[in-house]
A and B are shown apart, each in its own frame.
Chain A
């Protein structure tokens, strides 16, 4: 029963989105209602499935031997699927307002909704092959979204995105092949599936392949040096940058790496090897690199994109610690960062939508003109910095705690990188806040007389995110307790 429901939850948005494109939709409002209902229905279905708890694997197709398309729900799927199921309906509401005056609205909603189904597919994959399939599919359905505006810039960006992602997936594929050959199965099993008898003396080759696969999936997670597609893809409409390039797509990369590390290769095999040092070093470099670029960048959306690069590597850093505590820190940051970053992106998007201003130096005095938006932005900025009492602090707390517990010098260096990055985060986020609220004395408010605050469809999602951020900050125990169980493989 639950197997059919899982398949249903994945196919509902994918197939349900086709009518958006098939019909002419004379009445735009009807189309919006249809899209929202579709997304909500899928989310409810996912919610129902997740609340029922872990499910048995459900095989859809068997190609040959143990190569199957298979779905299942375990702890990790619950976290990822739950996260996107909460975010998608709100992001869709926001995009109705945002896309109001943009051309090609139908194709936008077609792919936007389809992506939802594909991401659910990644979350609920039961084995590496299925995940790989949906992972490739994700690239294909999101390319049109990056291309949305059809400007030269957008086309270049989408081409770059396509090449990077496909290239990354190719490396990930090598990892898949080695698991097929040297693993006892390709299913996701907490602790890994490598068969040490088969591996024999080929440890170093397998470690190399692990690094390849890590980097391959790391392309989507914007691991340095494979990150340059992400800031460029910021030409897409804000709902895409916010939901896909801060949450769904990039976190699919991080999620895939979690599966690869904890459920396929296994931390027993990887811990303490040179491969661990290599990937951890890469994440540490990315943490600092992303932040420094964000400080230099003056375009608002690109600044946030660089910030995403850095924050994704927080997650990967947690994962690369190869301990349950590290995975828990990574999961916590994956969840909390999703809410924080989508909130700040939506705020910036609201500014762009209302005024067409894109750069940091253009928003002097906006705090007074757009009070709701900038109040939300301030909260997200503080949370991203990691002020105690907000979500960001909790996740960094667990990450740093996990790193220090390992006692490795490299992990301690990682903690230092987290703190340097926190300072840089403060710099690139708070300069925006200070500009908006404290313009220079000679600033003339008449110049921004016609600026209006965002419409309810835009700020209501923001309000929801802010509440969640604060709630996670002060009452995180139920959720962190659950994530701890998941990371220890007990759920």
Chain B
């Protein structure tokens, strides 16, 4: 079933890419839509029918190097999240891409990327993960450089080469793990072999650090974040949405797999790797927020915001403590929904008015009321105000920091998160305020410019989901705590 879930979007994507031009735009969208829904359905069926930790081998690259899939709690979480993001953003694209060129190519690569992400979520060992990770960099490149301007192509190449640099750092760790571990299969608690390890801890720690840094490239972690604010905004809005929402999270998934399933939290706890990792993630949180505050272009501002917010997640993971871990997962979900929603709003504004700069947006709230209300709610969530999803996740992240028992960081971490929240308010809310209150007073009845239903529905859907996550998060928290129980033994209470 897992194969089918990956195969459907691959085939559909190849049909689009290699097939002839479609005369009828409606049919093209219908085909893409059907393929997306069918793929998501197949993923759900796969999740439902496959047993926990049942391995499905595809083939062997070489001796002892199998490509195989396995579904565990983390896979389920990410696979469902990917679907929830990918399908609505795809539907949104049917409205948005009307004013772009080469729609067929876009949908083709969009479907292929979905297949690759599904493969990534279901990967059972590091080499499979690496295979899909590298494919993801290559196949999402056309989404980034889609509009074909010189700027977009340069940004796309920057994206590609940063990603590959990260991937090769990971590969170094992979070589080390292959030598000093029992297996490359993701195993809760780690795979390191104490007997082989003897006297090589330093090298292994360096490998772990390189892997965190390498996966951190996709997650936009300082110092290798420079590609993100260039690449995310130049893509068409629905692609920016999923890039920030989901692709960046694949870096997070990589870090989770590295730290908790390969090296093991106990191996890293209290080492220089954890310290440096904490410093880097907190630096990124602050740096991203400050850059976003200064930025004038709306989409670019949102991209800087992604830099900052994804590092919240990394900070949560770096505490190696169950509350931080829970917060990281919650924030992964919440930020995916919020940021994708915000990018879709930015896209709707561009689509309807052609405005891209923040200062041009005075009075936009009266022209596009529903869109801007959604924007405001999503912003409030991103700042971390109850009762939205963003509050719950940050609550856990903050507690994770305070209860981590790490000197300095137990105070510094939460403090940085708070300052960043303030900055977040500073760069998001003025747009709402000026949007609803600013603008020319003389216009009594502004022209309504609300986007079509296809574009509006995904935005509203994301807003609703974030609110639901904020109001009744218990089920999700319970689910994540179950995962955390296995991975992190220390400090578990209740």
The chain A residues found within 8 Å of chain B, CB to CB, are 382, 385, 387-389, 393-394, 397-398, 400-401, 404-405, 412, 415-416, 419-420, 422-423, 426-427, 430-431, 434, 438-441, 473-477, 480-481
Contacts and interface: CB of A to CB of B under 8 A. Distances in A.
Nearest to A479: B62
B61 A476 contact: yes
Contacts of A439: 148
Contacts of B161: 423, 426-427
A422 B163 CA distance: 13
Best-buried of A394, A431, A438 by chain B (most CB within 10 Å): A438
B307 interface: no
Contacts of B165: 423
Interface in B93-144: 101, 127, 130-131, 134-135, 138, 141-142
19 contacts: A387-B138, A388-B134, A397-B65, A404-B176, A404-B178, A415-B175, A419-B169, A420-B168, A426-B160, A431-B157, A434-B141, A438-B153, A438-B156, A440-B150, A474-B59, A475-B59, A476-B61, A477-B63, A480-B63
Contact of B148 (A400, A419, A440): A440
B62 A440 contact: no
Task: Select the residue from B62, B153, B157, B179 with max chain A CB neighbours within 10 A.
Answer: B62
Contacts of B148: 438-441
B172 interface: yes
B164 interface: yes
Contacts of B178: 401, 404
Nearest to A416: B172
B149 interface: yes
Interface residues of B, number: 37
Given A387-B135, A404-B179, A477-B60, A441 B147 contact: yes
A439 B135 CA distance: 21
B286 to A, nearest CB: 29
Q: Which of B61, B160, B161, B169 neighbours the largest number of chain A CB atoms within 10 Å of its CB? A: B61
- The list of the 6 closest CB pairs from A to B, nearest first, reads A441-B148, A388-B131, A419-B168, A400-B175, A426-B164, A404-B179
A234 B144 CA distance: 36
A477 B131 CA distance: 18
Given A404-B179, A412-B203, 7 more contacts: A387-B134, A388-B134, A394-B61, A397-B65, A419-B169, A419-B172, A440-B149
Interface in B340-355: none
Interface string B162-183: 0011001101100110110000
Given A422-B168, A438-B148, A441-B101, A473 B61 contact: yes
Contacts of A440: 148-150, 153
B179 A401 contact: yes
Contacts of B59: 474-475
A361 to B, nearest CB: 13
B145 interface: yes
Contacts of A397: 61-62, 65
A438 to B, nearest CB: 6
Most chain A beta-carbon neighbours within 10 Å: one of B63, B65, B168: B168
A419 B175 CA distance: 11
Contacts of B157: 430-431, 434
Contacts of B153: 434, 438, 440
B149 A480 contact: no
Given A389-B131, A423-B165, A438-B145, A401 B175 contact: yes
Contacts of B203: 412
Interface centre among A393, A420, A473 (most CB of B within 10 A): A393
Interface in B42-78: 59-63, 65, 67
Contacts of A473: 61
B444 to A, nearest CB: 41
Nearest to B179: A404
Contacts of B164: 385, 422-423, 426
Contact of A419 (B65, B131, B160, B171): B171
A31 to B, nearest CB: 39
Contacts of A420: 168
Contacts of B65: 397
Nearest to A393: B61
B168 A481 contact: no
B183 to A, nearest CB: 15
A342 B150 CA distance: 32
A422 B171 CA distance: 11
A282 to B, nearest CB: 22
B62 A394 contact: yes
Contacts of A480: 62-63
Nearest to A473: B61
A130 to B, nearest CB: 34
A388 B170 CA distance: 13
B179 A476 contact: no
Nearest to A420: B168
Nearest to B178: A401
Nearest to A412: B203
